[in-house]
Amino acid sequence: MQTDPSPRPSSGPVTRFAPSPSGHLHVGGARTALFCWAFAKGRGGKFLIRIEDTDQKRSSDAASVGFLKDLDWLGIRWDEGPEYTAPDGTLVGGGPNGSYFQSERLPIYARYTEKLVAEGKAYEAWDSPEELEAMRKEATARKEAFRYRFRGEVTAEERARYLAEGRVPVVRFRTPQVAITIQDEVLGDATLPAGEVDDFVIRKKDGFPTYHFAVVVDDELMGVTHVLRAQEHFTNTAKHMVLQDALGFRRPTYGHLSIIKNPDDSKMSKRDKDKVLRKAVKEKALSAPPAGTVTAEEWTKWLGDENVQLDLDGAIRLAEALKVQLPEINVDDFRRSGYLPEVICNFLALNGWSPGHDIEKFDNGFLKERFGFDRVMKTPAKFDRVKLLAFNTDAITGMAPAEFARRCRLHADQYRPDYVARLGDAKFALLMTACQERSKTLDDPFRTNGFLLVADDALAFSDDKTVRKALGIGAAPADGSRSGLEHLRAMRGVLAGLSEWTQAALESAATAYAAEHAQGKIGAVAQPLRIGVSGGTVSPPIWDTLVLVGRASALARIDRCIAWAGALG
């Protein structure tokens, strides 16, 4: 394990993305990583990843770095960091400055902590949590912010007594009482008055460094030159600066990014999914979980406590049953919903940065060339999923058909295997050509065509206004012309007698029929057929749909539809 400062590279900046371990990458984190990556890679520098797992309570599963796959999927790869094998076999990560897990660097931090203590720049503090709490209360009562200050030398006898009592000290930094000016390339300079930063803890009771200490040591050792991170760290920068000065470290350039919010101004959170589901359950006044979603036990527990979150699979099943769309929060949520990685990157970059000149559509290569701290937005942005969807739609409709088919297939293999199995290659390909121009996501061909999967005798016909109108139920045409249902009955016979079941044959037969019986209005014939085979009024082009469903199924479904509609009156 190397502990000497890595030399500043003669060429290019070094940036880092330093999240706590997690299985998922949040969109805010994705944007931070994207900007860090773009800045370094656009200037011939290095981008590295470091796992900040110094909280033993929250990092029990230090191996949980599932978010790395999300980063890779977005097209963001790191020059140094945790090792990861990409789906294409490439080994990403590693590097000379490891370990990239802070929990594995304890001896390094200890060395620097001891140095500070030896120099009198840091000291042991023996206060118990209760004592600290009391001090905080007192400060609050005086309407002051609590600031911990050096409380006097601890004598050898006192120290021995504390030890005997079983107390374990933390180490606090003796913060110089001077005004501190934070230089930030995004927000500009900010001066904190003297005394604003207290004697904060740098080593916890469990021997782990605090975030502030580990960050400063690692950024130095790993040669980080530019720190781009979330705005919540802005004020913390002062702590990092005093530490750097005490340790004789170089100072990176800082830039802080504003947060990303929901359209309703709330902070984007993984709880948003449960929020949507709870609302739907309440609106539908459900008293028991829909069959096949979650267990009664989970249901009761979840409804009984706002803090309980459903596991992802259960939440997805419930959302399907309730016909609500779960909000995407993490990168893999967007992936599952069929968003393209290049679109996510483009859109994320636009939330908080802009290249100017009214340019909106660009790729990571462009971002790399153009990104700089100077055009980063200072204000928080609301994450507009509608605009994201529009961007995704543009990318999909502008895609070469073969490319669309290829990527949909990859998506289906992962998230919609039942379609692949049911349709077979030829029909799968047909579904792709039939769906591309009306698809907004890679998932739309599947999400919107569930009727392709259900058994003929299980297809449900939706009894709503548009269906009734198309079939002429309850309102027969006043002019005595055929109703939709009558067209369907007649077409049933036409279809049954067709010599071949192709789009061309179906269309010409229907066109001929319509010319004779529907004043040439093909729509009057197509809609009833659509309802007959799909159960509703929305599907891909009708001739494609009929081919996709297949002759036997189509006829069986139409028979059921006629019976169903006849019973409605």
Partner RNA sequence: GGCCCCAUCGUCUAGCCUGGUCCAGGACACCUCCCUUUCACGGAGGUAACGAGGGUUCGAAUCCCUCUGGGGUCACCA
The footprint of RNA on residues 208-237 (CB under 7 A) is 208, 210-212, 231-236
Query: By CB under 7 A, which span of 67-75, 280-288, 336-344, 375-383 interacts with RNA?
Result: 375-383
The residue count for binding RNA (CB under 7 A) is 88
Binding test (CB under 7 A) with RNA, winner from 390, 454, 505, 556: 390
Binding test (CB under 7 A) with RNA, winner from 60, 191, 295, 502: 191
- Contact between 387 and RNA by CB under 7 A: the answer reads yes
CB of 400 to RNA, least distance (A): 15
Nearer to RNA, 167 or 282 (CB): 167
| Cross-strand partners of 190 | 182
CB of 324 to RNA, least distance (A): 18
DSSP codes, 146-195 = -------PPPHHHHHHHHHHT---EEEE----S-EEEPBTTT--EEEPTT
CB of 492 to RNA, least distance (A): 17
Residue type, 356: G
Length of the chain in terms of residues written = 569
Binding test (CB under 7 A) with RNA, winner from 185, 196, 320, 486: 196
Residues 72-131 that bind RNA (CB under 7 A): 127-129
CB of 371 to RNA, least distance (A): 12
How far is Cα 160 from Cα 154, in angstroms, rounded to an integer?
Answer: 10
Binding test (CB under 7 A) with RNA, winner from 5, 62, 110, 147: 147
- Contact between 516 and RNA by CB under 7 A: the answer reads no
H or E segment to which residue 318 belongs: helix 312-322
CB of 256 to RNA, least distance (A): 8
Pattern 401-440, binding to RNA, x per CB under 7 A?
A: ------------------------------------xx-x
Binding test (CB under 7 A) with RNA, winner from 9, 365, 523, 566: 523
Residues 298-337 that bind RNA (CB under 7 A): none
Residue type, 113: T
CB of 88 to RNA, least distance (A): 30
How far is Cα 107 from Cα 95, in angstroms, rounded to an integer?
Answer: 19
Token pair 């005086």 is found at: 142
- Contact between 378 and RNA by CB under 7 A: the answer reads yes
CB contact at 8 A, 238 and 182 = yes
Q: Is 356 exposed, middle or buried (0-12, 13-18, 19+ CB in 10 A)?
A: exposed
Binding test (CB under 7 A) with RNA, winner from 4, 143, 455, 479: 143
Nearer to RNA, 144 or 305 (CB): 144
CB contact at 8 A, 52 and 62 = no
For residues 216-226, b (16+ Cβ closer than 10 Å) or e, as one string? bbbbbbbbbbb
How far is Cα 137 from Cα 145, in angstroms, rounded to an integer?
Answer: 10
Query: By CB under 7 A, which span of 91-99, 362-370, 379-387, 408-416 interacts with RNA?
Result: 379-387
Helix and strand totals (H; E) in the chain: 23, 13
3-state secondary structure at position 203: strand
How far is Cα 31 from Cα 334, in angstroms, rounded to an integer?
Answer: 14
Pattern 344-363, binding to RNA, x per CB under 7 A?
A: ------xxxxx-xxx-x---
Q: How far apart are the first and last CA of the chain?
A: 81
Query: By CB under 7 A, which span of 115-123, 145-153, 334-342, 412-420 interacts with RNA?
Result: 145-153
Joined tokens for residue 253: 């350039």
Nearer to RNA, 294 or 411 (CB): 411
